[in-house]
Amino acid sequence: MQYFSVAEARDMPGLRLVLSAGVPGPWGEAAKAMLHARHVPFAAVAQEPMGANEALCEWTGCRNAPTAVYDDEPPLTTWFDILMLAERLGSGASLLPTASADRALCLGLIMEICGQDGFGWNRRLNMLAGVWGERATSEAAPHEQEYIRQYGLSPQAVARAPERAADVLKALTAQLHAQKAAGSDYFVGDRLSAVDLYWACFSQLVGPLSKDVNPIPDYVWTFYSAMPDVVAAALDPILFAHRDRIYARHIGLPLDY
C-alpha cells in the first residue's frame, strides 16, 4: 500500500485514512473494508504503531489509527463515526440493515467486537501486557503512558480480559449458528452488513490468515496467534468459515497494508 506522510496528507483534498503502516491492525483493516465495500477512495497516511506520532497528534489531536479526515471536516476516530462516514460518502448497498431491530442488532454486535470492553479491546489488553509486562506507568515514555491510560491497561483488566473475549466469541458463534439454521451466510439478515466485515477483520486476533495472503510481521503473528486457553476453547469453526467466506466474496485477498 502506498502511504503518505502527515506533512503530505494535511493539505490533500478528499478522504485521508490514517493506518498503522505495515501491520494489519483490525480497526484499520475494518475501516478499509467498509470504505472498499462502499466504493469510497482514500489516501492512506502512515502511523507508527504505538509510536509517539507527534506530527499526527498535532494534526488530528490523536496518535492512533485509524483516523479519518475528510476535506476540512473534523477528524474521526471512532468505529461508529468512520462507519457513518462510509455510509455518507459511499454508493451501492448500505452496510446497515433497513429494519430498526436488525440495525440495532448489527450495531450491537459490532460494539461487542470492536468497541470499548469488546473482543478486540480485551485481546489488545492481553497483547499489551505481553509488551509492557509489569512495568509501572511512570516507567513508560510519555506517549506510552498515554496509550496505557487510553486502553485501560491494568492488572485487573488484563486478568478479566480472556473471559470477556471468550464470552463475545460465544455470542458471535450462537448468532452465526442461528443464521445458518435460517439459511443465511451473514450475521444479520440475508446480505452483507458492517458486522460481517468487522468480524472478518477482527478474527485475525485469534486466527491470522495464512502468510501467503497475509504478509504479517513475525512479531505480530506471534501476538495474534498466542491466546489464553479460555479464548482458544471458545473458537468454533463457524467463525473462521464465515471469515473466509467474507474475504473471498467481499474484501478480497491478499491483504495490502
What is 3-89's CATH topology? Answer: Glutaredoxin (3.40.30)
**pLDDT tens string for the chain (257 positions)?**
999 999 999 999 999 999 999 999 999 999 999 999 999 999 999 999 889 999 999 999 999 999 999 999 999 999 999 999 999 999 999 999 999 999 999 999 999 999 999 999 999 998 888 766 655 555 667 777 787 788 888 889 999 999 999 999 999 999 999 999 999 999 999 999 999 999 999 999 999 999 999 999 998 999 899 999 999 999 999 999 999 999 999 999 999 99
Identical fold, 3-89 and 100-251: no
What is 100-251's CATH topology? Answer: Glutathione S-transferase Yfyf (Class Pi); Chain A, domain 2 (1.20.1050)
Distance CA 253, CA 39 (A): 17
pLDDT in tens, 92-133: 999 999 999 999 999 999 999 999 999 999 999 988 887 666
Tell me the domain boundaries of the chain.
3-89, 100-251
CA–chain centroid gap for 131, Å, is: 19
DSSP string, the chain: --EE-HHHHTT--SEEEEEETTS--HHHHHHHHHHHHTT---EEEEE-TTS--HHHHHHHS---S-EEEETTSPPB-SHHHHHHHHHHH--SS-SS-SSHHHHHHHHHHHHHHHSTTSHHHHHHHHHHHHHHTT--GGGS-HHHHHHHHHTT--HHHHHHHHHHHHHHHHHHHHHHHHHHHTT-SSSSTTS--HHHHHHHHHGGGTSPPPTTT----HHHHHHHH---HHHHHT--HHHHHHHHHHIIIII-SS---
